Amino acid sequence: MMMIGVDVGGTFTDFVFVAGGRLWTQKVLSTPPDPARGVLEGLSHEAVGEEGWQLVHGSTVATNALLEQKGAKVALITTAGFEDVLEIGRQERVDLYDFMVERPPVVVPRSLRFGVRERVDCRGKVLEPLDEESLGPLLDRLAKEKVESVAICLLSSYANPSHEARVLHRALELGIPVSASHRILPEYREYERCATTVVNAYVSPLMERYLGRLEAEIGEGRLRIMQSNGGSISAATARQEAVRTILSGPAGGVVGAVSVAKHAGFDKTITFDMGGTSTDVSLVDGDLSVTTEAAVGGLPLRVPLLNIHTVGSGGGSLVWIDEGGALRVGPQSAGADPGPVCYGRGDQITVTDAHLCLGRLDPDRFLGGKMRLDVERAEAAMNDLARQVKLDPLRLAEGTITVANAAMEKAIRVISVERGYDPRAFCLVSFGGAGGLHACSLASSLSIPWVLVPMHAGLLSAYGMLVADVVKDYAKTILRPTTTTPFEEIEAIVNLLQEQGLREMKDEGVAEGLITTEAFVDMRYLGQSYELRVPFGRDVASRFHELHRRSYGYANPARETESVTLRLRVRGKMDKPPLPRVEEGSADAASASVGTRRIFLEDHWVETPVYAREALRAANRIGGPALVVEMSATTLVAPGWKATVDAQGNLLLKNHEPLGALRG
């Protein structure tokens, strides 16, 4: 069977094809107004047969709809008196000292937020029956308003969903998508549950249309969608739970990077994905780090997602001068249209243009020679801006790279140093089309001893789609004191979640023997507001105390603890495509040399050797400065760094410090 991984980025849509033990790639410009067109165009370039193939897709449809406020027209049905929860939120200020700060607009206006009479307490006891007679006129109002989607979030539906289920049943009569919180997020904290449910309702109609078009073209049953938690789900599930795909593209990159790094012998990795519009970084200390605390577009998302930090610094990030005369890079991006100046349509310089002006990109080898970069156009635009700010064009180009590096270095510090991790103990896995040009500089700044640049570095997110397992997450808030609640009582709830998970995993097409489960419980000391997640078992209390000590420096075993939310992760193991292997060679990489280029490094021009990535062999060594070019990316081996090619074709870059013991 042919497996196809697809990642739709802001600038390019990437494809990885695997069949018969062979792996090959494709890259086309994205089509932002109609992302499906770019996907179908890329598939049309390959001999994809009528039968025997499946596509795993990382989609930005939901993400872009939320960030650009271009989702569906949504109505919210909630408990009477709580219509404004979405707007009140947690009353947190984005900028504490800015008196003029403005919160982003709420995606559901006040006129489309409706309350129904009902009340259930936090233990699930019905205090006030549901006023079902009011539902008829309410649904008529929604039909008259021509809403495209409905979100339902009653106050304590996590404890007793009976009222919410009846509202859901009636709302389905409208014939439009309906999202109910007890299905999307059966957890307490009404603001986060409401916001997550609303986001799902906001993006689901767009995902429905997008996936519907793709399936109409490629055939039903062939499409799987990457989730933000690092696992894939069927297109049918993604249509109903689109909120789970918000960070699917970056998640694919992390999964792919960790897979490649572990094969290369690294368990401690910092993934660095620099694409066209943004840079995504994540720290992995053994296992993938999953969180349920994230915000996108100003709204909290409580669904499980990989712990990824994003900054608006990519190859297509725009260069501009602020009101104080300072050089800025991003977060605005040229995207795929018009793209960087050197692509032939844009007129505002980007990070990519700066690299080209510094000689670090080969204009004749971009995308394997399929797309020639316009050096003269980029230099003219750089000269124009340089005259405006009274700088030498080369200094302006260098300054652009320095500013972009500063933003990305700060992002890596956020996920490492600021969370108590020492970057010197990690390997930086660099990928994305632009990552290899910045990796050595960032690693030097952070004293990271190793950099790994995988084969097909510019398409690693698409490869990650193919190595991801099927993963489904379940949660149930219980709010029980740990010591006085019988373990068997909590275990029974876990068993119910397992039954649901196994049933739904089989519906995803996974054989029973390939399914595994992991149970966790969110715990806290009684009276605390937030929880720590510990593996579920009879010794959860002692595990919690130890985790609390490691996290906060103290623990109090004499104090009562509370089990807040049970969580279950169900994983269906999928066949993994083989990693590419390269022929054995010698230390001499001369056979891969394709000439030299003058590049501007450290205030002067340097004649630098250039190597073709596809011609490199295992054991080849390259000393910096040097450029390694491939279809999807370019890697700059900086002065003072040395690169070695391993058996899988990865470039292992190391600085001069003897820190090899950190590997493994």
| Domain ranges for the chain | 2-66+208-229+236-244, 69-206, 247-373+403-463+580-664, 469-572
Q: Model confidence over 484-538: pLDDT tens digits?
A: 999 999 999 999 999 999 999 998 888 989 999 999 999 999 999 889 999 999 9
Please tell me which residue, 468 or 367, carries the higher pLDDT value: 468
Angle (nearest 5°) at CA 349 between 312 and 370: 95
* Mean pLDDT of the 451-479 span: 92
* Mean pLDDT of the 1-5 span: 86
Q: Please tell me the distance from the alpha carbon of residue 321 to that of residue 328, in angstroms, as a whole number.
A: 6
Query: What pLDDT is stored for residue 526 in this prediction?
Result: 92
Query: What pLDDT is stored for residue 660 in this prediction?
Result: 41
* Mean pLDDT of the 343-369 span: 91
* Mean pLDDT of the 578-596 span: 89
Determine contact, residues 618/582, Cβ cutoff 8 Å. yes
CA 655 to chain CA centroid, Å, is 29
Say yes or no to pLDDT of 128 above 60: yes
Q: Please tell me the distance from the alpha carbon of residue 522 to that of residue 208, in angstroms, as a whole number.
A: 33
CA distances from 169 to 177, 178, 590 (A): 12, 9, 69
Q: Please tell me the distance from the alpha carbon of residue 450 to that of residue 429, in angstroms, as a whole number.
A: 9
Quick one: which H or E segment has residue 453? strand 450-453
From 61-70, 398-407, 567-576, the region with the lowest mean pLDDT: 61-70
Please tell me which residue, 237 or 10, carries the higher pLDDT value: 237
Q: Please tell me the distance from the alpha carbon of residue 71 to that of residue 251, in angstroms, as a whole number.
A: 22
CA 526 to chain CA centroid, Å, is 34
Please tell me which residue, 422 or 12, carries the higher pLDDT value: 422
Which one-letter DSSP state was computed for residue 588?
B
Query: What pLDDT is stored for residue 50 in this prediction?
Result: 57
Say yes or no to pLDDT of 270 above 90: yes
Q: Model confidence over 147-199: pLDDT tens digits?
A: 999 999 999 999 999 999 999 999 999 999 999 999 999 999 999 999 999 99
Cβ count within 10 A of residue 518: 12
* Mean pLDDT of the 258-286 span: 91
Say yes or no to pLDDT of 580 above 80: no
Quick one: which of 612, 67, 571 has its CA closest to 297?
Answer: 67
Q: Please tell me the distance from the alpha carbon of residue 358 to that of residue 398, in angstroms, as a whole number.
A: 8
Residue with tokens 């390997």: 427
Percent residues over pLDDT 90 in the chain: 62
Q: Please tell me the distance from the alpha carbon of residue 343 to that of residue 104, in angstroms, as a whole number.
A: 33
Q: In the CATH scheme, what is the code of domain 2-66+208-229+236-244?
A: 3.30.420.40
Determine contact, residues 274/317, Cβ cutoff 8 Å. no
Composition of the chain by helix, strand, coil, percent to 5: 35, 30, 35
Q: Please tell me the distance from the alpha carbon of residue 246 to that of residue 258, in angstroms, as a whole number.
A: 20
Q: Residue 124 contacts by C-beta under 8 Å, 6 or more apart in sequence? A: 156, 159, 160
Beta bridge partners of 472: 570
Which one-letter DSSP state was computed for residue 431?
E
CA distances from 417 to 312, 409, 425, 447 (A): 20, 11, 11, 12
Say yes or no to pLDDT of 482 above 70: yes
Determine contact, residues 407/330, Cβ cutoff 8 Å. yes
Say yes or no to pLDDT of 571 above 90: yes
Angle (nearest 5°) at CA 85 between 81 and 87: 125
Query: What pLDDT is stored for residue 488 in this prediction?
Result: 94
Beta bridge partners of 49: none
Looking at 2.60.34, 3.30.1380, 3.40.50, 2.60.40, the CATH number of the domain 69-206 comes to 3.40.50
Determine contact, residues 124/182, Cβ cutoff 8 Å. no
Determine contact, residues 447/470, Cβ cutoff 8 Å. no
Q: Please tell me the distance from the alpha carbon of residue 576 to that of residue 521, in angstroms, as a whole number.
A: 30
Q: Please tell me the distance from the alpha carbon of residue 292 to that of residue 28, in angstroms, as a whole number.
A: 33
Q: Please tell me the distance from the alpha carbon of residue 232 to that of residue 55, in angstroms, as a whole number.
A: 11
Query: What pLDDT is stored for residue 658 in this prediction?
Result: 46
Query: What pLDDT is stored for residue 664 in this prediction?
Result: 38
Query: What pLDDT is stored for residue 570 in this prediction?
Result: 95
Q: Please tell me the distance from the alpha carbon of residue 34 to that of residue 196, in angstroms, as a whole number.
A: 26
Determine contact, residues 189/508, Cβ cutoff 8 Å. no
Say yes or no to pLDDT of 262 above 50: yes
Query: What pLDDT is stored for residue 51 in this prediction?
Result: 62
Domains 2-66+208-229+236-244 and 469-572 share a fold: no
Tokens of 574: 């999928």
**Farthest-apart Cα atoms in the chain, separation:** 81
Q: Please tell me the distance from the alpha carbon of residue 610 to that of residue 186, in angstroms, as a whole number.
A: 55
Tokens of 277: 């519009």
The dihedral built from the CA positions of residue 382, 384, 385 and 389, taken in this order, carries a sign that is positive
Q: Please tell me the distance from the alpha carbon of residue 318 to that of residue 300, in angstroms, as a whole number.
A: 28
| Span 469-572 CATH architecture | 2-Layer Sandwich (3.30)
From 85-89, 404-408, 643-647, the region with the lowest mean pLDDT: 85-89
Percent residues over pLDDT 70 in the chain: 97
From 16-30, 256-270, 357-371, the region with the lowest mean pLDDT: 16-30
